[in-house]
Chains A and B, each alone.
Chain A
Amino acid sequence: MEQVLKRVFAAKLSDLPEKLGRTVEAGGLELAIFKLADDNIRVIENRCPHKGGVLAEGMVSGEHVFCPMHDWKISVVDGKVQDPDTGCVQTYDVEVQNGDVYIYIPE
């Protein structure tokens, strides 16, 4: 199934805190946006598949975030929950242009 994506402006790169998440609401979705230590930006769905923990408030380590509720470890790159727990969260594509961060979300 083809999905139509639209690009929305989320934040200025310089406004995002490093190694922390931030909650972004856009197009009816709740997303968590992370600026990693290597300055990469990653965006995933903001709710943990376990019990809906707010992932933007989790501790970030490398390419993973630890859910603040019960410490599940989730990849912010492919959205996969790490062993021994299972599940995954949606990931979203990001583009940084002239210091502005854009997210691709479904139309």
Chain B
Amino acid sequence: MEKQKLVLIGNGMAGVRAVEEILKLSPDQFDITVFGSEPYPNYDRIQLSKVLQGDTEISDITLNSWEWYEENNILLYPGETVTAVDTEKQTVTTDKDRQVPYDKLIMATGSVPFMLPLPGADKEGVTAFRDIKDCEQMIESAEQYKKAVVIGGGLLGLEAARGLLNLGMEVDVVHIADFLMERQLDRTAGKMLQKELEKQGMNFLLEKQSQEIIGEDRVEGLRFKDGEEVEADLVVMAVGIRPNAALASQSGIPVNRGIIVNDHLETEILNVYAVGECAEHREMVYGLVAPLYQQGQEMAKKICGIESEGYQGSVLSTQLKVSGVDVFSTGKINEDEDTKTVKVFDDWRGIYQKVLVDEGKITGAVLFGDTKEGNQLLSLINKGAAIEEYLDQDKSDAAGIDFIASMGSEEIVCGCNGVTKGTIVNAIGEQGLTTVDQVKGCTSASRSCGGCKPLVADLLEHTLGDEYDHNQKESICACTSLSRDEVVEEIKSKGLTHIREVMNVLEWKTEEGCSKCKPALNYYLGMINPSEYKDEKESRFVNERLHANIQNDGTYSVVPRMYGGVTNSEDLRKIADVADKYEVKMIKVTGGQRLDLLGVQKEDLPRIWSELDMPSGSAYAKGLRTVKTCVGADFCRFGTQDSIGLGVQMEKKFEGLNTPHKVKMSVSACPRNCAEGSVKDVGVVGLDGEFEIYVGGNGGTHMRQAELLSKVKTEEEVIDATAAFLQYYREDANYLERTSAWVERVGLDHIQSVLSNKKTFIELIQRMNEALAVVQQQDPWKEAIESETLLRDLYKNVKVAAGSN
């Protein structure tokens, strides 16, 4: 039988998702043709906010790659707009004069941003926030200009404003109402939100009506009805969207606000369907993806001839994608005379929660500051649940589980990506997933706004039952279900000695592991048996394998040791000479008190190291990086101890060590702590006659202040305590867990009590010394220079001369 011709107008989120549903139900029934005005494959419009905020890039938000269209035999015409539909002859015509017949037609033309018809709205520098092009224009403007005005204090406007702030612009948000997001929030929440965003640097002009955009060719400012003016080099209009239904209405397809559809997403014209923001169902037009994906599912069933109840409408929920503020709302927002509310207002912690109740049933909610219960409330509303069901549940973890258990498998957990409970449960079962991150990787649930993360965690717990690990003492990776502790225990008890053996004996699910377990096993094996184990260079990340940091363009950097941040003219001269000779792109003083030679070709690395003739600074290592010092007693008027001397000693003592993650230390000579001991893995502070040793600090992604481990009298005791602490960390922490996360997890008390046992303390130091003895036999750079095999295997590229064969 010949295939039917299915044509989709609009290559956007709703339309393409509907096509995916159709392919799932009936992969061979249709020849599919897609027209899209935008010159890209289908991308995640939601993520434009994150692109603008700098959290991701345009190249990363593609939902369906070009290959996807090819693999599914879909004929895609990107950058081509349908200009007419002939519903009698059943054909569509495009702006490139192409005419294509259809048996079934889906209109998924989305929305058009509403542009206020102000005088001057056509000036350069006035934009909407709807597509990639708008996003690119804003990013470009931010490079050249300083001042942005966003018109519209709703979801889109605030996300745009946050993005422009991140791009370094000053931002005014103009809003017509007297509080923000008035369509999704009540006044209390709106005002709290405003305060929070003001703290983030946004400036608000409320109850302002724009009158005119001023400037020559390019916008220079905005004038309001009250005569006031503000400067602007960029004006973003985010005042609303309108269903894009013009094509339909010109083609005689009935349109009200949007294209009118029934529960099966059929328009009033035979064989013509509409889905997405362009469609109007039971007088509702939706502007969020979750309902649009549900529509797509129902439409697909109809098109493939599968009986179903049809689309019943959706209760909406919104979440603001601005980091640092948690806002959620769903259903009814404002109470009327008959509404009762349940409210929590905690001004101190900045939490506001309001649940609306009509005739005993939950009808809406507004959450600010703590939005954990958002998804649950949405689902309760969908079920028509009584308020008691919400109030009576204990707010412990168990409640979330009950809730997730009650969800149907077709119910959507991740609204942004339309991932159902069923999909996640299947993935957990089939692929042996145990962590939220793994679920995210395999199913995309929680990949966009992240709001459903708690639900995903509950779902994991519900599905895995006893196997679920509350502390997420996760399996090492998807290749095994064993946790770190179990693997380490097995290695010890079975006397396993290399990676392949571990994988075989412990029944890894993959032949050769992955980029997570290989380096982890390599570390554990070396930690357990330092003198016997032979490090596997092919299980090291590039930086550690090559002993240099790879750069974004594939060149490398060279950071020699400069113990305690102290250098001399001879070393500096060598560095300068090498930099000249090999034309390094930049010499930079690092945050760790030493020099970095950046932009070195891989093949030059061994020569540079040999000419420098300095030890490697291990700037790439999961090991000791730097020991930062302050000038100390020799020079500083406050110095009480020889911080430089002790710092250098410590760096020499622990250099080359392998640790679960990198280790940074510092020594300061008085409580002013100029070497920043509060954010180091080990931070020593010298006082008159004693030293304080702080541990578990981190100044990186997750800032954490170091805690006082102990006070000691002598430099030897500092080194001993550091050795015992670090050895316990080596033996107990997960691979890739910084001391900060480890100390936080196991508790300082616990560590102190382990180290307070004299015998344990001494044994830890002994095992540390064994480990050091092995790694300090040779500096890694020297080792590479002196080994023909390493030079050939790791540092050589092949160049095939032209014309050779």
Binary per-residue interface labels of chain A (56-75) against chain B in the complex, 1 for a CB within 8 Å, 0 otherwise: 01111110001011010100
Chain A neighbourhood of B554, CB < 8 A: 52-54
Given A69-B550, A84-B441, A86-B68: A11 and B542 interface contact (C-beta under 8 Å): no
Binds A, one of B214-222, B772-780, B796-804: B796-804
**B794 & A62 in contact (Cβ 8 Å cutoff):** no
Residue positions of A touching B, CB distance < 8 A:
6-11, 15, 17-20, 22-27, 33, 37, 50-54, 57-62, 66, 68-69, 71, 73, 83-84, 86-88
**A9 & B800 in contact (Cβ 8 Å cutoff):** yes
Instruction: Tell me the total A-B contact number using a CB cutoff of 8 A.
Output: 103
Q: Look across to chain A and name the residue whose beta carbon is closest to the beta carbon of B554.
A: A54
**B541 & A20 in contact (Cβ 8 Å cutoff):** no
In the bound assembly, the distance between CA atoms of A16 and B444 in angstroms comes to: 38
Checking B514, B541, B793 against A73 with a beta-carbon cut-off of 8 angstroms, the contacting residue is B514
**B62 & A8 in contact (Cβ 8 Å cutoff):** no
The answer, yes or no, to whether B59 is at the interface (CB within 8 Å) is yes
In the bound assembly, the distance between CA atoms of A75 and B447 in angstroms comes to: 23
Chain B neighbourhood of A8, CB < 8 A: 800, 804-805
**B798 & A87 in contact (Cβ 8 Å cutoff):** no
**B538 & A19 in contact (Cβ 8 Å cutoff):** yes
Instruction: Count residues of chain B with CB under 8 A from any CB of chain A.
Output: 42
B541 CB, nearest partner CB in chain A, Å = 7
The answer, yes or no, to whether B512 is at the interface (CB within 8 Å) is yes
Q: Look across to chain B and name the residue whose beta carbon is closest to the beta carbon of A25.
A: B799
The answer, yes or no, to whether B406 is at the interface (CB within 8 Å) is no
Q: Look across to chain A and name the residue whose beta carbon is closest to the beta carbon of B536.
A: A19
Q: Look across to chain B and name the residue whose beta carbon is closest to the beta carbon of A54.
A: B554
In the bound assembly, the distance between CA atoms of A27 and B542 in angstroms comes to: 26
The answer, yes or no, to whether B395 is at the interface (CB within 8 Å) is no
Chain B neighbourhood of A23, CB < 8 A: 797-798
In the bound assembly, the distance between CA atoms of A81 and B512 in angstroms comes to: 18
Chain A neighbourhood of B443, CB < 8 A: 84
In the bound assembly, the distance between CA atoms of A61 and B510 in angstroms comes to: 9
Given A19-B538, A54-B550, A59-B518: A24 and B510 interface contact (C-beta under 8 Å): no
**B538 & A88 in contact (Cβ 8 Å cutoff):** no
**B792 & A61 in contact (Cβ 8 Å cutoff):** no
A9 CB, nearest partner CB in chain B, Å = 6
Given A8-B805, A51-B59, A61-B515: A68 and B67 interface contact (C-beta under 8 Å): no
In the bound assembly, the distance between CA atoms of A83 and B793 in angstroms comes to: 30
A92 CB, nearest partner CB in chain B, Å = 12
Residue positions of B touching A, CB distance < 8 A:
59-60, 62, 65, 67-68, 441-444, 447, 510-515, 518-519, 537-542, 545-546, 550, 552-554, 792-794, 796-800, 802, 804-805
Chain B neighbourhood of A9, CB < 8 A: 800, 804-805
Chain A neighbourhood of B540, CB < 8 A: 59
**A61 & B800 in contact (Cβ 8 Å cutoff):** no
**B538 & A18 in contact (Cβ 8 Å cutoff):** yes
- List 22 interface pairs A-B (beta carbons < 8 Å), by A numbering: A8-B800, A8-B804, A17-B794, A19-B538, A22-B797, A22-B798, A26-B798, A51-B59, A54-B550, A54-B554, A59-B518, A61-B514, A61-B515, A62-B510, A69-B550, A73-B514, A84-B441, A84-B447, A86-B62, A86-B65, A86-B67, A87-B67
Checking B447, B539, B546, B798 against A24 with a beta-carbon cut-off of 8 angstroms, the contacting residue is B798
**A20 & B805 in contact (Cβ 8 Å cutoff):** no
Chain A neighbourhood of B545, CB < 8 A: 57
**A22 & B796 in contact (Cβ 8 Å cutoff):** yes
**B794 & A25 in contact (Cβ 8 Å cutoff):** no
Chain B neighbourhood of A25, CB < 8 A: 797-800
Given A15-B792, A51-B59, A61-B510: A87 and B797 interface contact (C-beta under 8 Å): no
**A61 & B513 in contact (Cβ 8 Å cutoff):** yes
Apart from A52-B554, A84-B444, what are 18 other A-B pairs with CB-CB below 8 Å? A25-B797, A25-B798, A37-B511, A51-B552, A52-B552, A52-B553, A57-B546, A57-B550, A59-B539, A59-B540, A60-B538, A62-B511, A66-B514, A66-B515, A84-B441, A86-B67, A86-B68, A87-B67
**B62 & A26 in contact (Cβ 8 Å cutoff):** no
A54 CB, nearest partner CB in chain B, Å = 4
In the bound assembly, the distance between CA atoms of A18 and B774 in angstroms comes to: 25
Q: Look across to chain B and name the residue whose beta carbon is closest to the beta carbon of A64.
A: B514
**A59 & B541 in contact (Cβ 8 Å cutoff):** yes
Chain B neighbourhood of A33, CB < 8 A: 798
Chain B neighbourhood of A10, CB < 8 A: 798, 800
A43 CB, nearest partner CB in chain B, Å = 11
In the bound assembly, the distance between CA atoms of A43 and B254 in angstroms comes to: 57
A85 CB, nearest partner CB in chain B, Å = 9
Chain A neighbourhood of B805, CB < 8 A: 6-9
In the bound assembly, the distance between CA atoms of A11 and B798 in angstroms comes to: 8
Chain A neighbourhood of B793, CB < 8 A: 17, 20
Chain A neighbourhood of B442, CB < 8 A: 83-84
Chain A neighbourhood of B546, CB < 8 A: 57
Q: Look across to chain B and name the residue whose beta carbon is closest to the beta carbon of A56.
A: B797
In the bound assembly, the distance between CA atoms of A103 and B685 in angstroms comes to: 60
Could you say which of B67, B512, B797, B798 has the most chain A C-beta atoms within 10 Å of its C-beta? Answer: B798
Could you say which of B519, B554, B794, B796 has the most chain A C-beta atoms within 10 Å of its C-beta? Answer: B554
In the bound assembly, the distance between CA atoms of A27 and B804 in angstroms comes to: 9
Chain B neighbourhood of A61, CB < 8 A: 510-515, 518
Chain B neighbourhood of A84, CB < 8 A: 441-444, 447
Q: Look across to chain A and name the residue whose beta carbon is closest to the beta carbon of B62.
A: A86
In the bound assembly, the distance between CA atoms of A50 and B58 in angstroms comes to: 11
Q: Look across to chain B and name the residue whose beta carbon is closest to the beta carbon of A87.
A: B65
In the bound assembly, the distance between CA atoms of A37 and B65 in angstroms comes to: 31
In the bound assembly, the distance between CA atoms of A37 and B111 in angstroms comes to: 53
Chain B neighbourhood of A15, CB < 8 A: 792
Chain B neighbourhood of A88, CB < 8 A: 67
Chain B neighbourhood of A69, CB < 8 A: 550, 552
**A57 & B798 in contact (Cβ 8 Å cutoff):** no
In the bound assembly, the distance between CA atoms of A59 and B542 in angstroms comes to: 8
In the bound assembly, the distance between CA atoms of A23 and B320 in angstroms comes to: 45
In the bound assembly, the distance between CA atoms of A15 and B797 in angstroms comes to: 12
Chain A neighbourhood of B65, CB < 8 A: 86-87
**A26 & B542 in contact (Cβ 8 Å cutoff):** no
In the bound assembly, the distance between CA atoms of A56 and B60 in angstroms comes to: 22
Checking A6, A59, A87 against B538 with a beta-carbon cut-off of 8 angstroms, the contacting residue is A59
**A62 & B550 in contact (Cβ 8 Å cutoff):** no
B403 CB, nearest partner CB in chain A, Å = 27
Chain B neighbourhood of A66, CB < 8 A: 514-515
A89 CB, nearest partner CB in chain B, Å = 12
Q: Look across to chain B and name the residue whose beta carbon is closest to the beta carbon of A68.
A: B542
B95 CB, nearest partner CB in chain A, Å = 29
Could you say which of A20, A23, A59 has the most chain B C-beta atoms within 10 Å of its C-beta? Answer: A59
Chain A neighbourhood of B511, CB < 8 A: 37, 61-62
In the bound assembly, the distance between CA atoms of A60 and B510 in angstroms comes to: 13
In the bound assembly, the distance between CA atoms of A51 and B56 in angstroms comes to: 12
In the bound assembly, the distance between CA atoms of A10 and B798 in angstroms comes to: 7
